[in-house]
Structure 1
């Protein structure tokens, strides 16, 4: 292998199989110093070894979108020692915040297990070793805080780095590790994304990845550190709380445009350019350095793997002009290749022109045959097309050198590209399978796609090359820009596309309908701007397919298979997809009223900026599904199985989730007024920043539920709900009812409980520290050994309540009613009214 590259670039090669064929994944990196300049290769590797030691910082696999990671420490502001602080990382339009604490340990109190106050610190590593985990916790065996034996909890360290929306409040809490770093490949979170490893995989893809591998596996990072497209390369970044002296480290990515030319032995005369895409950014805030990693696939075929590849790397600036491939070739090989030098020594004279006549006759015949076949298969609309004959290039002077057949074919290919585009557009409008139709015709064509410099190898006459070289160079530059734009647009509409999966077949609406009617397979098809309204695709296998800007109003997809499918900007009014299998489905910017998804399997599906008001998801499987900035207002979620589902900034007003299983689900920053969770299973669920009133949680199982600050659940009903060990902090519950609810060992700190009715609730050992209980009705409640420290208790009724050993130190209590209450070892004995 020979690689020509600048001294400030790093290169990593990973030989692998993709679609059953040998490939090399080329990773090209640049480390940017604090001065904004690229560092030389030796210094860059030394720095990376210092940062990561023997740990792998990159897996050398091409990703389907842009990601970023951060390596560093949290620092208290200069000259201080903080016990807790937040660290924030932002790149482009996405940001992420983590909470960092000093050392804390579990200790038993009268109210149950509580952690000690965090100790002050100067510096705290923000790594997996200080996130939640433990030796027996597969998600992060190097972390801290996990304890298997309940008898050994005393003194166990809590994690130093936590999610702001999922703090560890009890020893039973087991959140995902909070980190800016990649997720190790062997963890369950990554392993569940690997596809089916069966006999078919062993026969056809091993040792490569299964075709149904989820593209998120290649990200290697949490979804909140990924964007839908690749990075441009000049985005701004900002890091807060991760520099020893500066509160904020800010800057901009270097704005590079690397280029990669390559060829394979022995065909070194055929040079191609690979499209490099920036998929990984590493930020090192304390050292004020940035690592950018660009990647591309190079297919090696059967040529002998990576050793058979020769490469040339050239670095440009995004703000400067892009060099043509021909100019880059001259930089790589100023004297030309062996093929070019041989062409320069070619025989001149009449024999060359005679050879040119024979070549041209063959090309013309092949062109006529292709046009004839396309017209025969294309129907009346295609038959009416008038295809102009090929125009042969003007002959050169008598001293013409021997013509290179491949170069002529390359020129003809460019000449006829406009005709082919016209035919393709007409076919597409007529609903014809364009790719399938062209496949047969392409078998007859031996034309090759050559770069501009191939015309030099052809040794064409000077009057021909001089006249056309500039135009061809401009055309190639334009082609490259268009290719990049198309790739970027495709990534934006299909962010989860697996680069190792087979390519999509592009179909029209009628072709899809006919294929399904004939019982043909329609997996991995792609439709754009197609009208599929009222089409019956029941039981169709559309796995891995893509629908972009399609009309699906009234379509029937009952029992259809939509696993790994993508729907982007589609109209879905009245779609009936009951009992559909849509695991890992991605739906982006789609909308529809009365969408029917009852009993559908939507496990691991993602809905982004969608409008599904009034949708029927009753009985659906929503395990680990995510709804982001979407509307489910008034939707039917009865009996759904939604363990670990996530609803972020989504409208859940009026949803009916009666008997739903939402164990460990997350609801954050979402309006939720009027929602019903009667008899729902919400054990370990988290509600952060939710806003609503008149919610119904009657008889809900909410043990260990977390309700975060800024949440408002006013005038809601928690009657007979199980809230044992719940963690509710800073929430507003004014006017809510908790009659007969169980709150043993629960935390309701700094909450507004004014006007609440909690008659006959059981809250033994509960902690109400700092809460407001004005006008509260808690008669008959069992608050034995509870804590009301720092509480404001005014005009409240605790008659006939069990207040045994209740801690009311530092509480403000006025006009409270305690007739008939058990006040043993409670300081309120003297406050009876």
Structure 2
């Protein structure tokens, strides 16, 4: 079984980006270029790319730490007089429990990270009967429609799959209606779209003989027996129905005359990659994070090599029935009478859009040459449409991917107007054309491929070299165990991306499919299983079940698959300047850097140190304004207003302030590094001595605020709000607070080292002398809180709550508290040496002199607890 890059994300699209190493603060203002959705899709992919390697390292380290804890937990198992060690049955239960609850996978699961041809619609359809059983009996013939003709699909399991427009036994094709999307038609029972490609009946896997364990968090668990890299993306194709895109990426070595072979190195999914890392350069690799491609993309990058004549070359791409050839010339220019100069000789010519017909004024290729840009001719041309005079403007010719902001793609984005905002935001508008996600030139978009087609790449190797062979002939198979059906079913995948790198002699293949799920966390999917077969090879239900049981057998915990959201399109920006032309450009020291100042007004202005650097200021006004040290660096300030304003020593570095307002504002010694404040409001405001490196504050509000001595290293605070807030000594190290919420907060000595506080809520908090070492707090809540002496060493608290809390002079050494709760709590002189508490609860706790040395206490509870002067040596509370 393979280890995955664990890339945990949250359920709000904007919030997801903010979790990625603090770089998301820039995404909002960058999306104002070109069409917003195109930029949004490109940007999320770039963010994924930036964090992939960091996430992988962090994950490996956390797994090592987690496995250490798992081993420690078992080694310290039940002890005390007469204990003869666990029975085989106990060992089996423990292995399953560790695998299910992730002792070893969950300890460090918050790292950097990581939107389809046919669409598979599974038995989420309301034509079902009680107990999660399908209406139709096993083996029954169920009619479905394809291109207007009725066909039968046989059910080999206990749930039905809908393809395109489906019907129930004997039912009429109701609700059939024209569909502007590239899908054939909606399901008459639930409105889910069909595919538009040839149907391949997916295999239904019989009920599992051993049901996968229930999920314990929002990550979709994954088991795989192949090195191929899977990933998922939650989306709503037809809101409000929830869908889960399942994709599999594979990298293969090209072997002359042979099928491509699996590469030793299997890179994770990437976002758009541009040449030389330049933002305005053409794409070298198009994003993997795509919802649906109605056709397959076939793309080629690398260099062209001349054969006999060093001034010209021919490059050919052939995959299956696709054949395309381009003419390649050395550099040429137009003479004074419209004659072409002779092409110069070249050793090799890059196959990229900068060498094709185009230029800054060209909508088809804004990075090219030869289109109203002077005397240079393109190096790459279509053999059937060569340039012969300065008036010739043939379509650009290249084999590589087209950028998402180019007109050829943005023209398919649909209509983003008030109706979209009201009815479908943040998802695609009704007239969105999914061919937006096809990045290959139109000539290279073909029907979905099998995966064993022959290929030939001509002119891409030195010395008349031809690179030929066949695709690997491999077919990934993904099976999902659905709670509602009590069985595995297959999410059929289609090969929709083939990307050749001729220089490296590699090919990347991406298969993609989709299923209907219950919600945006796919909480009805217990586990996904990825395996492979040869193209066309059958895989019986029994074989799939056997493979799953072998891959998920005793050993390491099942890995978790990231659920990747797509960033929502930004709403349209407000209209332009005034308020006496921004107080006569702040009394004529003009510049005002990036200007635009959209909704201005500047209310009680003055704006002290002004400048506004990156400007734009969408919703502006800034009510009580002044802005003391001003500058506002990355600016934009989205939907501002700023009620009490001031922003004290200002700068706001990465700025944006998303949905702002900021009620009683100020921000004392501000700066706020990568800022943003997502859904802001900032109620009581102030933020005392901020600085805010990672910034963001996700769904903010922050109630009565302050943050005292702030700093906020990797910030975010995810779902925020927080009651009386404050946070006294603050700093908050690797912060986040995921579920956050509020009541009386404070955090006294704060810092919170590796923080997170997962599902938080924090009722009467305080955390006294905090610091919280390697924190997390999984299920959190912290009822009557305090944590007195805090620190909490290796922390975690798994399913926390901690009822009447306090934890007196804590420290908590090995911590974890597994299923926690701690009812009467207090734990007086704590420390709790190697802690854990397995089934925990500790009912009326207190634990007086505490420490409890090697604790753990198996399925705990320990009714009236207390334990006076405690310690209780090797424990099981030393019975």
Structure 1 length-normalised TM:
0.36
Pair member with larger Rg: 1
Greater helix share, 1 or 2? Answer: 1
